[in-house]
């Protein structure tokens, strides 16, 4: 069974990895203006960012994919005139858009907490050194916010990997899509066990790597050297 369907599952794993990685990159970039809008003094910006997060965190990812993939057909004329129909007519790009917008909402909220957690003393020190506003954001606020947000963002990545399985409902042959196809051909539940094992190993490896990244970026959290030797 594994010898027959293993290569297909690995192909699906590659599609899943590619889709999640691109979504996290795009969503991570979108999350930065969303997070700053949430803490902005301009009320309309806060309202827009809050509404965006409320929608994408309050509705199922499955519904969001359906709205983008099937709903875009209702505006085909508009997308054709804008030259975007080639994007919205493809299941892969629709899933990528849905995943990116979804993770941007969660990441924006996580990053907002990180921004608010940056010690005011660091910002005041940067001002005292003569840094302008944009330099403070780039060298003080964002690095500090990301260090604070790392644990929560690691959880978001794991959740995103698991949630990516819904891509199969729009005919994408990701890991779960290939698993479903293999089951339809073999009627053996073993393929789902193999898929679950792959997801489990992928998330375990990611969690270990992310923990190492957290320790590297926050050396004050590491156990003392003598404590590690005693263990």
Structural domain range at position 145: 2-230
pLDDT of residue 213: 87
pLDDT of residue 67: 93
pLDDT of residue 221: 60
pLDDT of residue 79: 85
Low-confidence stretches of the chain (pLDDT < 50) are 231
pLDDT of residue 130: 85
d(CA 188, CA 179): 10
CATH number at residue 73: 1.10.3720.10
Q: Do residues 79 and 72 make contact, with C-beta atoms less than 8 angstroms apart?
A: yes
d(CA 79, CA 48): 24
pTM of the model: 0.89
Q: State in Å, rounded, how far the first CA of the chain is from the last one.
A: 43
The tally of domains found in the chain comes to 1
**Which whole-number Å values give the CA distances from 148 to 51, 116, 143, 204, 206, in the listed order?**
24, 10, 9, 22, 19
pLDDT of residue 84: 86
């Amino acid at each position: 069974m594994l010898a027959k369907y293993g290569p297909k599952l690995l192909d699906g794993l590659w599609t899943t990895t590619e889709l999640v990685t691109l979504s996290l990159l795009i969503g991570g970039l979108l999350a930065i203006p969303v997070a700053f809008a949430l803490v902005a003094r301009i009320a309309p910006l806060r309202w827009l960012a809050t509404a965006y997060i409320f929608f994408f965190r309050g509705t199922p990812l499955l519904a969001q994919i359906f709205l983008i993939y099937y709903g875009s057909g209702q505006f085909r004329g508009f997308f054709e005139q804008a030259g975007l129909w080639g994007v919205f007519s493809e299941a892969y790009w629709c899933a990528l858009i849905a995943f990116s917008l979804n993770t941007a909402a969660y990441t924006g909220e996580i990053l907002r907490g990180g921004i608010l957690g940056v010690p005011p003393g660091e910002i005041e020190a940067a001002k005292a050194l003569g840094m302008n506003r944009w330099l403070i954001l780039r060298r003080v606020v964002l690095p500090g916010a990301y260090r604070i947000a790392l644990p929560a963002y690691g959880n978001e990545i794991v959740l995103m990997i698991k949630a990516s399985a819904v891509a199969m409902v729009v005919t994408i042959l990701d890991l779960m899509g290939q698993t479903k196809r293999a089951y339809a051909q073999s009627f053996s539940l073993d393929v789902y066990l193999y898929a679950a094992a792959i997801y489990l190993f992928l998330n375990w490896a990611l969690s270990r790597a992310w923990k190492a990244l957290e320790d590297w970026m926050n050396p004050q959290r590491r156990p003392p050297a003598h404590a590690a030797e005693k263990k």
